[in-house]
Amino acid sequence: MEPNVERFLPSRFYASVGWAALTGSLVCVLCAFRAPYAFIPAVLCILTATGLFWLAARPLISVGETQFTIGERAIAWREVREINRSRFLSPLVLQIKLTNSRSKVLVYPGEPSRIELLLAQLRKRSHLATFDGVPYREYWHWTNLEEHEQHSEASAATPPVRLFTPDDEAEIERLFQTLKTGGRLDSHTHTNGPHTIDPSPTSGAKTSGED
pLDDT digits (tens, 9 = 90+) for 61-110: 999 999 999 999 999 999 999 999 998 888 999 999 999 989 999 999 99
9: amino acid identity, one letter: L
State the Cα–Cα distance between residues 155 and 173, nearest whole angstrom. Answer: 29
pLDDT of residue 206: 46
pLDDT of residue 204: 44
pLDDT of residue 208: 44
pLDDT of residue 12: 92
Task: Find out whether 130 and 85 touch, Cβ atoms under 8 Å.
Answer: no
Q: Which helix (H) or strand (E) holds 60?
A: none
Task: Find out whether 15 and 54 touch, Cβ atoms under 8 Å.
Answer: no
pLDDT of residue 187: 52
pTM: 0.65
89: amino acid identity, one letter: L
Sheet containing strand 67-70, strands side by side: 6-8, 61-63, 67-70, 73-76
Residues of the chain falling short of pLDDT 50: 185, 189, 195-197, 199-211
pLDDT of residue 177: 78
Task: Find out whether 58 and 96 touch, Cβ atoms under 8 Å.
Answer: no
| Ramachandran angles phi, psi of 94, nearest 5° | -120, 140
State the Cα–Cα distance between residues 206 and 183, nearest whole angstrom. Answer: 26
pLDDT of residue 166: 75
